[in-house]
Amino acid sequence: MTVSELAALVGGQLASGADGSAKISGAAALAEALPGEVTFFGNPKYLPKLRTSRATAALVPLAFAGEVPAMCIRCENPTLAFSKVVEKFAPPPVFFAPGVHPTAVVAPDVKLGAGASIQPHAVIEAGVSIGDGTVIGAHSYVGHESQIGAGCLIHPRVTIGFRCKIGSRVILHSGVVLGGDGFGFELQNGRHVKIPQIGIVQVDDDVEIGANSTVDRARFGRTWIGEGTKIDNLVQIGHNVVIGKHCILCAFVGVSGSTKLGDYVTLAGQVGTVGHVEIGDGVIVGAQSGVSKVLAAKQTYMGSPAVPAREWKEQVAQIHSLHKLRARVAHLEQLLGEREKSIPSGT
């Protein structure tokens, strides 16, 4: 397509004087882009790379006014606009033919929606219902009486335990396990006695869960993932956890049992929580932080135990200056020692 067509595609504004007839044949990141390709600039720290990029065109923020070699297309959100461009140049998506593969094992009473696709060696147990257009990937397992909505994509090797409830347009990547037993034991007579985990997992509409993440079933009631929440790879969600709408959980997060997250919460990589705490709406918890108590809404927290970000930064600055304090104290001790020596005895 031409640069002018590209600008129209993303609803952007082509810089005045730019050659709108120039051809664009692909998309690439700033450092890799070649002539004839479009790139994007969404983070100020990458300005040096934009200045040296060989791309023919660049998607930039509306307020950008710098002089760069690429023809600038100003748009409200260059990152999202670039995603639209990538889709335009990408190969067509993989299509899964409707129907049940001959090697799949599907119980007689399973309800399959129109256009649903059951891939090779999948196992669908009795009492399951699967919505219109949903794909169940190869070697996946759907347990008894589970419900899966329309337009879902269940990638290969996903395990969905009995009686789980999954909404529409949910994406579960390979290795996801929904409905494994919660980690519940009581010490009795010197032995760990298993507490039955008889609840369910409920995943609402438009949730995406990354590869090899696990969501434990509730001891009773439900473990609940709210609408629009996105969960990264290798995340552990304990039993009876409630996660609100449109949350972000990054890789290696661990949420202990009965913890409650509000809406629009962000847990950065390797955040861990103790059980039975609440995290308010809009909270951001920085990477590798440990949540040990209730976190008030709409604040940013960091550290272990997690504290408000400003307090954590002050603590880090103080720790980094301890060696200076130690040197000052040693110097003062030396001065006091010399002074004591210089004072005559009996004075």
- b/e 128-154 (16+ beta carbons within 10 angstroms → b): bbbbebbbbbbbbbbbeebbbbbbbbb
Q: How far apart are CA 196 and CA 244, in angstroms?
A: 26
Same domain? 124 vs 225 = yes
**Residue 239 known to be catalytic:** yes
| Residue 94 maps to a domain | no
Same domain? 114 vs 167 = yes
Q: Residue 213 — pLDDT band, cuts 50, 70, 90?
A: very high
The total of structural domains in the chain comes to 3
Q: How far apart are CA 203 and CA 153, in angstroms?
A: 13
Same domain? 279 vs 171 = yes
Same domain? 229 vs 337 = no
Same domain? 108 vs 243 = yes
Judged by average pLDDT, the poorest of 24-33, 163-172, 331-340 is 331-340
Cα-based distances in Å from 17 to 5, 235, 242, 333: 16, 49, 54, 71
Domain that holds residue 216: 99-309
Mean of pLDDT values over 49-69: 94
Cα 94 to the chain's mean position, in Å? 24
Which pLDDT belongs to residue 23?
96
Same domain? 259 vs 121 = yes
Same domain? 105 vs 206 = yes
Catalytic residue among 121, 139, 192, 239: 239
Same domain? 141 vs 30 = no
What's this model's pTM, rounded to 2 decimal places? 0.88
Q: How far apart are CA 125 and CA 143, in angstroms?
A: 5
Output the average pLDDT for the chain: 95
